[in-house]
Amino acid sequence: MTVHAAGIIERAFQLAQQLTTVDEIRSQLRKEGYSSVDAHLMGRKIRSDLVKIIRQAA
């Protein structure tokens, strides 16, 4: 079991400032060893919040 300094949601928001799509965020989280990525990011609200941050960072 991998222990992460940041929780999966917190890390997703960090990545949203650097990446350009929610799919890229999902992929990166998997590469970093997070589990149940789809389950954590499937809600409409979290996807909407991530897209908002992606757009602001662009």
5-21, pLDDT tens digit by residue?
A: 679 999 999 999 999 99
C-alpha–C-alpha distance, residues 30 and 45, integer Å: 21
Its pTM stands at 0.90
| 28-58 pLDDT, tens digit each | 999 999 999 999 999 999 999 999 999 999 8
C-alpha–C-alpha distance, residues 44 and 34, integer Å: 20
Burial class (CB in 10 A: 0-12, 13-18, 19+), 37: middle
